[in-house]
Structure 1
Amino acid sequence: MYSIIDRPTSAGCRSRRYPTDTTDAEWVLLEPLLPRPACETAAGGRPEKHHRRAIVDALRYVTDNGIKWRALPSDFPPWKTVHGFFTRWSKAGVFEKIRDRLREKIRLRANRNPAPSAAVIDSQSVKAAETVGKPSRGYDGGKKIDGRKRHIATDTQGLLLVVLVTAANLQDRSAARLLLPALHALQRGVTWVWADGGYTSKDLVQWTKKTLGMTLDIVKKIVGQKTFVLLPRRWVVERTFSWITQARRNVRDYERLPEHSEAFINLSMITIMTRRLTRRKKRAKTT
C-alpha cells in the first residue's frame, strides 16, 4: 500500500492530500462498483481523460466541504468534468447502486441477511439556498423552515435504504405514500416499518398493509415527555440524519434539482460505509 505522499500519479491519479480522498482499501471497494467507461462498451466512446479515482475524490471533497463547484481545488480534474460525471451518474442511479452493495457488505459482516426485513422512516426539514426554485421548495410551519424535506428509510442499523427529497410543506403522511412504495420496490423483504407520530393515520396504516403488505408501526412519545428521550427504533433513523449532516453540503439544500440533493445524501452515506468497511481493528494491548 502506498503512503499518503507517494501514491503514484500515473494514469492521472493524484497524490492524496485531503482527508476526504479515498484510501487504497476504499478504492478497491469502489472501483468495481462504478459503471464501465463508454470506450469499453459496445457503443464505444472516447477514452476518459481523467482517472476515475480523481473524479470520486473530487465528489467526496465537494460533499464533505460544501463548496461551490467552481471552487474545486486545481489539483482535481476541471469542475465541469467532475460535475458532468455527477449529473450522469445521478441520472443513471449509480450512487444508489453503490450504496446498496456497500450496505449488503456491512450487513453480511454483521452476520445479518443482506436484505433487511424491517425499516425505520422519518423526515428532516432543511433550509434551502436561493438556488432552489419555488416549484421544489416550501414552508414547513411546524419547524418554521423554508426549504426542502428529506424523507428516508433505513435498516435497523441506520444504513440508508431509500431517500426522497420534496418541498418542505409536504406532510409526512402524504410523503409516506411515495416513500413506502419506493422502499417496497427496492426491498421486497421489508414487512415491518417503524415511524414516529407524524405518520399517525389510520388510513395510512391500512393502505400500507393492504397495498404493500407492510405493517406500519407508529412509535409515539412517552406520555408526559417534555425533554429529549431515546425512543425505541426511532433513534436509529435520527442518528442517520446526524451522520448525513456531518457533510457540509447536506447542512443546507443548494441543489436546483431534488435528485441532486438525493445524490449528495447518498454520497455522504457511501463515504461512511466505505470507511466502516475498511477501518482497521485496533489490536488489543498485551501485558
Structure 2
Amino acid sequence: MDSLEVFLSSKEIYFLSELLGIEVIIGLKDPYEGFTESEIQEDWLKIKDGLVEREIIFERETYQIERKHAILINAMRPESICCWFSLIEGNQQVSSHYYFTPKLVVKKSIDSNNNLFKIELVGTPKEALEEIINRFSISSSKVGSVNSYIPRSVFENILALKEKPDFDRYVMTNLNSEEKILEEFITSIKTFQKAGQFEIMTWVDHEQKWDHEDLHFIQGENGVWLTVPEMVDRVELVHIKPTTLGEFEGQLKKMIIGRLKE
C-alpha cells in the first residue's frame, strides 16, 4: 500500500470526525470538555481555516475533506476494532492505537516533539499484526511449567520486588508460600527486560455494548510470561503462565482476526 500519513491536533481530529459523522473515536479524549458552545464555535473557525490552508479540507462553505485524509479518519470509527499497544523497555515507554477494518489498518501515535498525533496507514490487517509482533520482539524460549492463579495484590507485590535493593534477601524473608511457588516468574521480574500490553475495544452493535479484552506479558532473562487479569467469585486474580513467541502471536491473531470475521 502507498504511504499515507498526516499530523493533527486532537481538536483537528475531533473537527474532522464531526464532519464525517463519527460520534466517538476510541483513544481520543474530547478536547472541548468544559468549553461553552460559543467557545467551541469560535475555536472551530480557526481550526477550519488551518485545515483549508493545509489542504486537508476544501471549499470554505462545504468543507469537504480531501479523500486520502478522509480514509484515515474514517478508519477510526467505533465500528472498527481499536487496539491499544504499549511497550515498556528499560526506561522508555511507547504506545499507539491501531484501528483495524477488514481491508486496512490505521495507526495513531503521539508525536511528543510537536504535541500532535501522527495518523498513518499501516497496511492490511496482516501487515499491521506483523508490525505489532515485531515491535514486541519477545523471546522465543519458554520457561518452566508454572501456571498459577494468584490474587492481584500478591501479583503487585511481586512486581514491586524489582525495586528492592536487596532482592534475594527480600524474597527469602518476605514472600509467603503461595508466592514462592512462582520462583521462575520472580526470577523474570528480577531480570526484567520488557513488558507489553495489548488491549482491544470494539462496539457490539446488536448488543449495544462495548466488548473489551486485553493481553499482558513480562519478559525476563529466563523467558516470557502472559499475565491475564480475571475476576473469579468477585475476587481479582491474575493468571500467570509461560508462553512462547508462537503462542503469543496466535493469541494476538485470535483476538483481532477472529473479530474481523464476525
TM-score normalised over the length of structure 1: 0.24
When Rg is computed on C-alpha atoms for both structures, the one with the higher figure is 2
Q: Structure 1 or 2: larger strand share?
A: 2
TM-score normalised over the length of structure 2: 0.26
